[in-house]
Structure 1
Amino acid sequence: MSDPAENDYARMLELAVSLLETRDPDHLWRAVAEELMRALGGEVVVAKDSEWAADDGPVRAWRRGVGAAADVPSRRAVRLIREGYPFAGHYGTGQDRAPRTAAQLTGARWRNSETASVLRQCLGTDHMLGLPLPGRSRPVRGFLIHRAGRDFDERALQYAAAVQPLLRAAAAQHELLTDYAASGAEGGDPGAACPPAVRTSDLGLTPRETAVLRLLAEGLPAQTIGRRLHVSVRTVHKHLQSVYRKLDAPDRLSAVLNAQRLGLLDREAPRDVPAPAGTSEGAASNG
């Protein structure tokens, strides 16, 4: 039986890849928030994009089971969420970007804090998980997941850490869409705001690597890509490493996002490039 945590990661990966095609930044963040709530048993998710300041910055929140963004019902709650206790002091003073719970950072003080008390009254939640986007950027961006009942366990922390790179790529897409909308452009494709498309050969991508990239953009795992191209999983991984290097990407989703920005995924139709029988790569499919 497969690990539930792996299934949750696969769901977020599939969602993140599919979101590369959306043109609605609000839909993108709402879909991510809903998946985080589902996987982590959260009741409310707050998106954090600006500095931790009590009197400044928007608060965007989604409540489980609510189609539209949920209003945070109290000015006092908004102020405390903006202050970001206890996460502002932790993430704002160092380079640690590992997911942490409020109780991990404060111990027994959390339940008796003003923030915990107000959130229980306004949101009906008891615990918070900070899920920052990886990197060294300022301000620290990410999500706060709220839940009632038991605190987030080790499995939740492992899942949160695993999906951080996916959320970073989704955030880059959200920024691209938001900038495009702010530019006042009407109609067309958000990709029009990106540099002109280049050819895969301009980046040194081989036909086989191009085929792997296109199947990667469909959200297919390495095993399925290998079956499509009639090569081994080991060979697929070798191609993936080469694609990552040539696209200057740390992972598969970043590679797809970079390729989309360059126009590589729109310029040519996806195609399979099976290895001819008897070639070394075809023989590797048996390895």
Structure 2
Amino acid sequence: MAQLQIRDYERILDLVQAVLHEGDPDSAWHLTAERLHAAVGCVSVILARLPSDGLPGVADGWSPYWLGPDVGELIARRMEQGHPMVPYLLAGNTDPVRVTDLCDDWRQAPWYTEARDLCGTTQQIALPLPGGPPGHRALSFGRVGDFHDRDVEFLRRVQPLLVTMDSHLRELSRLRAAVAAAPTPDDHGLTPRETTVLGLLAEGLTTQAIGRRLGISPHTVNRHLEKVYRKLGANNRVTAVALARRGGLVA
């Protein structure tokens, strides 16, 4: 197994910190793609969603940003061209995989020629993100030159964090939508993570249930709640939820 260096772990922590402090769930995956773009050292990063019901694929985030206008069509073409990563993902596999692990004649494929001409990439690796919304999702990385065992190990280590961040972003987006009709005059300095925990608390979830929903431990949930109580001036969950509803922080 390839060994990671301290700098690799620093990049992972920087990524987590950046996303958890991003207040806009809709732009968080673009931010994640940008950070992974630099951390992995590649030419392109695309978060692709492949529906299992035959509908066209969707891109939830990408880097560099200039790929934007064509990303959706690009995913659709990859599915039509029979890219080997498509059946791999649709089969429910969860391990990071290089295209060279799936086929030997990729240089003769139309998707290889298109990727080389469009972005200059000659190698690709996919990182599945299991456990999300319906459909199969993965981050696709393109590079000039090979992806090595250390790259695979880095993505394997960062995968659980990305899955957890995805749960956080989906819950934050859902809770923001629930209070969209009630503007918040004062957010009391709550971070996006604290807002998400508070919203789930207001829905009646226990500490353990919040932890399961967000993929974190009950101890971590309690730490977030302690900060929420302090910022709201509350000393228990009933008072905190009441103050949050009065202030329009939760539905």
TM-score by length of 1: 0.61
Instruction: Determine which of 93, 96, 99 is the counterpart of 2:96.
Output: 99
Q: Deviations over 1:253-279 (max 9, x none)?
A: 72389728984542247xxxxxxxxxx
Q: Deviations over 1:99-145 (max 9, x none)?
A: 001111112x2111111111112222111110012459752222111
Q: Deviations over 1:47-100 (max 9, x none)?
A: 123416886232345334xxx463254886342245572112112224x31100
Which residue in the other structure is 1:120 paired with? 116
- The 3 A distance-change label for structure 1 pair 23 and 120 is same
Which residue in the other structure is 1:142 paired with? 138
Distance 1:34 1:75 in 2: 18
Contact 2:30 2:63 in 1 (8 A): no
- For structure 2, which runs of at least 5 residues remain unmatched after alignment? 188-194, 232-251
- The 3 A distance-change label for structure 1 pair 40 and 32 is same
Letter in 1 for 2:163: R
Distance 1:28 1:75 in 2: 18
Query: Secondary structure at 2:170's aligned position in 1?
Result: helix
Which residue in the other structure is 1:33 paired with? 33
- The 3 A distance-change label for structure 1 pair 246 and 46 is closer
Query: Secondary structure at 2:201's aligned position in 1?
Result: coil
Q: CA RMSD in A?
A: 3.8
Which residue in the other structure is 1:43 paired with? 43
Query: Secondary structure at 2:56's aligned position in 1?
Result: coil
Which residue in the other structure is 2:86 paired with? 88
Q: Following superposition, which runs of at least 4 residues in structure 1 exceed 6 angstroms of deviation?
A: none
Letter in 2 for 1:29: W
Question: What is the percent sequence identity of the aligned residues?
Answer: 23
Distance 1:195 1:174 in 2: 16
Contact 1:194 1:261 in 2 (8 A): no
Which deviates the most, 44-53 or 73-82? 73-82
Distance 2:90 2:229 in 1: 42
- The 3 A distance-change label for structure 1 pair 21 and 75 is closer
Distance 2:62 2:211 in 1: 34
1:130 lines up with 2:126 in the alignment: yes
Distance 1:78 1:53 in 2: 15
Contact 1:127 1:147 in 2 (8 A): yes
Contact 1:260 1:266 in 2 (8 A): no
Distance 1:4 1:128 in 2: 20
Distance 2:113 2:15 in 1: 34
Shift of residue 182, structure 1, vs aligned partner? 4.1
Structure of larger gyration radius: 1
Q: 1:272-283 residue pairs with structure 2 within 5 A?
A: none
- The 3 A distance-change label for structure 1 pair 48 and 178 is farther
- For structure 1, which runs of at least 5 residues remain unmatched after alignment? 204-244, 270-287
Instruction: Determine which of 178, 196, 200 is the counterpart of 2:202.
Output: 196
1:155 lines up with 2:150 in the alignment: yes
Distance 1:54 1:117 in 2: 25
Distance 2:133 2:61 in 1: 22
- The 3 A distance-change label for structure 1 pair 74 and 35 is closer
Q: 1:1-287 residue pairs with structure 2 within 5 A?
A: 5-51=5-51, 56-64=56-64, 68=65, 70-71=67-68, 73=70, 77-82=74-79, 85-94=83-92, 96-107=93-104, 109-135=105-131, 138-148=134-144, 150-183=145-178, 185=180, 187-188=183-184, 190-191=195-196, 193-196=199-202, 254-255=216-217, 259=221, 263-268=225-230
How many pairs are equivalent? 217
- The 3 A distance-change label for structure 1 pair 172 and 9 is same
